[in-house]
Structure 1
């Protein structure tokens, strides 16, 4: 598979927020949509996608980092792809990881909006940060327990800003948070 190096990738990616379905959004936004969609299809197995959010960024150390999070009504399905630094593997190597979390494992959903006001007083959402607190424990803090540290629950965190995603992706992340919030705590059929 031939891919551009991360130095050749644009700093701003296409906007996925206008695409209502996962496949179109992933193909517009991700560098490796086929890998992500194939991995997720093996878990979804025909289940409807009720909502999703996407993330992608480029860093100087590992190259491209990509994430897809899907809610099918009973689970969160998370795909994560990340380039492996050239000094650790042949050029073009990446990891592809899949994680499935039952919605019954989500104990809390939080959504923080940062607002600014223009001169006429109209409020605008500048960013949104969402967290999903899970019943599982944060692995890094479990090891630290023996040293007397505080144990923390695992959490999934997502964020969008006007500079990183724009108003459309902020709105879609808020929509995703509302979807998950509406399902948490309900009996699973």
Structure 2
């Protein structure tokens, strides 16, 4: 794994290139992720040539851990999620990161929700300035089993974009991804 140098001292910028113009996963990942080769290799090992019907990407800088990255791919029967995150200082050698995969069959998604926040422009038409998407799963959230929680809670996947965090293109692409998944939930898979 190599980390490209960004600015003075190798600092990672808080604003990343826009991935939304790229229709294919490879190009979008290479434009947006810090570690596209790690992500694409991990995803490729699970997808094994399956068609990528849609995807969404996320990346941000965490003040404690450094860079946090995520790719979610829909291949028509499942979601394949890759997550990469820098290891906090002291938890491993400098430059260490985790790379995780999760596969979620579409049959386990029980609900898809999409909330758009609209702002009226001075000329009257409304524009979308943020989007929040959730996918409720039939599995239970293990973190919700503690003493402070009144009972089991269903696991959920959550995604969001704003004009400041991603821009209009990524908002539109996340909404497109949510519609794709919603169109497949509850239908028989081949």
Identify whether the pair has TM-score above 0.5, normalized to the shorter chain.
Answer: yes
Q: 2:56 corresponds to which residue?
A: 53
- Give the match for residue 101 of structure 2: 98
Deviating above 6 A after TM superposition, structure 1's stretches of 4 or more consecutive aligned residues are none
Match of 2:176 in 1: 175
* SS state at 2:58 partner: strand
Maintained 8 Å contact 1:2/1:92 = no
Deviation at 1:148, TM superposition (A): 6.5
The number of residue pairs the alignment matches comes to: 187
What TM-score does the superposition give when structure 1 sets the normalisation length?
Answer: 0.95
Q: Which runs of 5+ in 1 are unaligned?
A: none
1:24 partnered with 2:27:
yes
Does the CA-based 8 Å contact 1:107-1:135 persist in structure 2? yes
Partner of 1:89: 92
1:143 CA displacement = 3.7
Query: What's the counterpart of residue 153 of structure 2?
Result: 152
Point out where structure 2 has 5 or more consecutive residues left out of the alignment. none
Contact kept? 1:76, 1:101, Cα under 8 Å: yes
Q: Deviations over 1:12-35 (max 9, x none)?
A: 100000000000000000000000
**Contact 1:134/1:153 (<8 A) preserved:** yes
How far off its partner does 1:2 sit? 3.8
Show the counterpart of 1:165: 166
Q: Could you tell me which of 130, 137, 141 is aligned with 1:138? A: 141
Q: Distance in 1 between matches of 2:49 and 2:40?
A: 12
Q: Distance in 2 between matches of 1:85 and 1:142?
A: 26
Closer, same or farther: CA 148–20 of 1 in aligned 2, 3 Å: closer
In structure 2, what is the Cα distance between the partners aligned to 1:151 and 1:21? Answer: 38
Instruction: Describe the superposition over 1:93-151 as per-residue Cα deviations: whole angstroms up to 9, x where unpaired.
Output: 0000000000000000000000000122110100000000000001011244xx67132
